[in-house]
Structure 1
Amino acid sequence: MIQATELRLGNYVNLNDGSEHDKIRQISGIEHKIVYTLIKGCRFAQVHQSFDRIYPIPLTEEIIIKCGFERSEYNDYRHPILFGTLTLYEGVAELHISDMYSVWVNNLHQLQNLYFALTGEELEVKI
C-alpha cells in the first residue's frame, strides 16, 4: 500500500482490484480516501479505488529502460537529462547524483517524484 503523501498526479502504480493480475495505472486524481486512475487507452475514463488497493511498482531493468535510462555498464544506467548514475541492485536502485550524494529509490513512483524534484519536468515512462 502507498500513502497519499507519496503520490503525485501522473505517478504509475499497481492497482490490485481483486482480479488475478495487478494492473499498471496512472494516477489522475487524489482525494481524502480515494485515488483516481486512468484506464490505459481511454483518454477520459477513470477508476476510483481506495488506497489499500494501490501498490508500488518495483524498479526492474525493464521499468528503468521504459523510463529512458540506458545501460552503461554492470548494473549502471544513465539518463540523457538526469545527472548521475542509477545503479540497480536486487529490488532497489541507488541514484548517484555526485561523488558525495546518493539517494535510494525502491519504486517507480519514487523515481518519478525524484526526477521531478531534480529537473522540474515529468519523467517520461513508456508503459
Structure 2
Amino acid sequence: MEATELRLNNLLMYGDSIVPIMGVENNNESVLVKIDEDTAIDYRKLKPIALTVDWFSKLGFKEAYRSNSRIRFDLPNCCRYDFDLDSNKILEGFLFFGNYIKCNYLHQLQNIYFTLTGEELKIEHKSPKIQTTLS
C-alpha cells in the first residue's frame, strides 16, 4: 500500500483495530497518518483491509448472483462488484460500464466509490469480523 492511495475517511488496520484516517501529513522523512485526536503514526504501520463477503454486507451490497466461478454483489441503484472464484481472477473487481476496476481492499473501494459519486461509501460503525475467505 502506498501513501498516495490514502484519503480521509479510509478505514485501515492498525494492530488489531480498524481505524479511520483523520488526517495525513508529510514530514519529509515519512508520511504520518492521524488515526484519532491524539495519535499520528507512520503510514507503513497501517495494513489494508481485504474485501470479504462480510464487508460487502456492511457496505449495503446485496448478493445478486452466485455460481461455481463467480459471486456478484450489487449496491442498489449504483454499482456492482464481482469476486472471480477461478484462479486467473480475470473477471474480478468493481464493475463500471462493462470494465473491471481491480480493487482488493476496502480503502481502494472507498476511493473508487467517492471518485465516481462524490459521496462517502456508507459503512456501519460496528466492526465486522475479519474474514480471509469467501463463504
Bin for the TM-score computed over the shorter chain: 0.7 to 0.9
Query: Aligned letter for 2:33?
Result: V
Q: Closer, same or farther in 2 for the Cα pair 1:57/1:23, shift >3 Å? A: same
Give the C-alpha shift of residue 3 in structure 1. 1.8
Determine the structure 1 residue equivalent to 2:20: 26
Determine the structure 2 residue equivalent to 1:19: none
Give the C-alpha shift of residue 98 in structure 1. 2.2
Match of 1:51 among 38, 43, 49: 43
Q: Closer, same or farther in 2 for the Cα pair 1:70/1:4, shift >3 Å? A: same
Give the C-alpha shift of residue 51 in structure 1. 1.5
Query: Aligned letter for 2:62?
Result: E
Q: Give me the whole-angstrom Cα distance separating, in 2, the residues matched to 1:104 and 1:3.
A: 16
Determine the structure 2 residue equivalent to 1:109: 107
Give the C-alpha shift of residue 67 in structure 1. 1.1
What percentage of aligned pairs have identical amino acids?
32
Determine the structure 1 residue equivalent to 2:133: none
Name the SS of the counterpart of 1:55 in structure 2: coil
- Could you say what the CA RMSD is over the residues aligned between the two structures, in angstroms? 1.7
Query: Aligned letter for 2:58?
Result: K
**What is the TM-score with the length of structure 1 in the denominator?**
0.80
Structure 2: gaps (5+ residues): 128-135
